[in-house]
Amino acid sequence: MNRKQPVTPRAKILVVDDHLPVGRSICEVLHNAGHEASVVTSAAEALDHLQHHVVDLIITDLRMPGMDGLQFMHELSRRRIDSQVVLITAHASVTSAVEAMRSGAYDYIEKPFDADALEQTVERALSSTNTHSRHKKHPASQSMLIGTSPQMQHLNAQIAQVAPTDTTVLVQGESGTGKELVARHLHAQSSRARQALIPLNCPALSPQLMESELFGHERGAFTGAESPRIGRFELAHGGTILLDEVSEIELPLQAKLLRVLQEKTLERVGSSDIRDVDVRVVATTNRNMLQEVQQGAFRQDLYYRLAVVPIQVPALRERPEDIPTLAAHFLGETAARLQRDPLELGPDAQALLNDYHWPGNVRELENIITRASVLAPKGIITATDIQPWLIDPWGESDNDNEPPLSLAVGTSLQEMERRLIEATLEQFDSHRGKTAQALGIGVRTLSNKLRAYGYAPRAREFSRAA
């Protein structure tokens, strides 16, 4: 029997619902999808659980006795518990659910819901989960851009100049450089800082869902649209919308997005009512957008509408002097989460980090430091501890006699690409979103390549189909 598995790796999920049978039913769906799930029946129990366990996602009922879902979210923020949150609500409470999304919840699901809708929402929430990209209203000090290199000084100066305006900004840079963090900094220093920053992870959605997610829909607009839904642009009214990896939006929808940017109005799917929206747009991309335009993959008029002010985020290898500071920061952050004293980097480990070329940029450095902090056997992290986790996609090797990635002379480019993708997939524990970001390609592109290689489309471990 083939069990349906999620695109994301196994996640730890906490379900909070005062009706225990409902909570258990949700857990059963999550278990069948390959995740670890546990249930508690009150927000107070959930907070106690979170004192001793780290979870990737919290699914909570909005209406609960005692502390309700909104109060629970505020308490999570106060305690700096940054797990992603999905709300479960009845249709009559949709207004409160929207308020919760503006306060930091990723999404909401209306009762009654089916297993597929729950699984899809969970997968989207998990694929967007990143400490630096969650749409909570953090102050600027918590969106700190770390580094004193000339490149970072220039970047900070650009942000300080552009942030107070309502100008549309296109943040460009390789995957893992911190584009989302730059977007957050732009919002935090703007006049809209007291309003919501609403992100949309464009690669995480199918073209069919993208229009509804952006602009909302009315009941009956399409099969499965059993109730109205507010889109991300309306949620961001008065604030900022972050279109993360905007280059992944399909061409037909690009025309509709252009109209919203030009006219500052939208129509929900299935409606002819025109709604005004006052939203600042910040978009990010890891692609060469001019090349995308030249290849016909992105509309030229939309590109110029988004790139009113382009900001380039430097790659980590372009600012190596910032690596020790970043490493120390991540050591401290990880120690705080683990509730223990931070480990230290040995001289050999620091030298290794300084010499590495960081294809995954700051995100890769954070992952390496986090993993070392958890797994290093001593109080000092050595080069031996972290060496096995460093990937070498450009074929550089400490051993000049060893062929890059163990490739023989005459290996085809297609086979080289395949082995690189497989090595990166293994590096990121079979997480397609992180793998795609590290490789600088879209999730759909990665999925298509894996499918061509014979990988099961939804297999969590990506084992090849027989």
**Rounded average pLDDT over 384-396:** 71
Report the distance separating Cα 178 and Cα 330, nearest Å.
14
Residue 94 has pLDDT above 50, yes or no: yes
Residue 242 has pLDDT above 90, yes or no: yes
Same domain, 20 and 36: yes
Candidate from 155-169, 222-236, 355-369, 428-442 with smallest mean pLDDT: 428-442
Residue 224 has pLDDT above 50, yes or no: yes
Same domain, 156 and 185: yes
| Comparison of pLDDT for 368 and 446, the residue scoring more | 368
Point out the domain boundary residue: 292, 314, 336. 314
Same domain, 250 and 176: yes
Same domain, 158 and 121: no
User: In CATH, what number is assigned to the domain containing residue 105?
Assistant: 3.40.50.2300
Report the distance separating Cα 281 and Cα 306, nearest Å.
8
Same domain, 270 and 337: no
pLDDT confidence of residue 392: 60
Domain membership of residue 268 (yes or no) is yes
**How far apart, in Å, are the Cα atoms of 299 and each of 145, 177, 256?**
31, 25, 11
Same domain, 182 and 268: yes
Point out the domain boundary residue: 314, 348, 363. 314
Domain membership of residue 380 (yes or no) is yes
Point out the domain boundary residue: 64, 97, 127. 127
pLDDT confidence of residue 136: 43
Q: Work out the pLDDT band at 134, boundaries 50, 70, 90.
A: very low
Same domain, 308 and 342: no
pLDDT confidence of residue 316: 96
Provide the residue range defining the domain that includes 384: 318-452
Domain total for the chain? Answer: 3
Same domain, 331 and 309: no
> Quick one: which of 191, 289, 275 has its CA closest to 240?
191
Residue 393 has pLDDT above 60, yes or no: no
Report the distance separating Cα 193 and Cα 180, nearest Å.
15
> Quick one: which of 330, 355, 246 has its CA closest to 292?
246
Place of tokens 């110029």: 304
Q: Work out the pLDDT band at 445, boundaries 50, 70, 90.
A: confident
Residues sharing a CB contact under 8 Å with residue 337, sequence separation 6 or more, in sequence order: 54
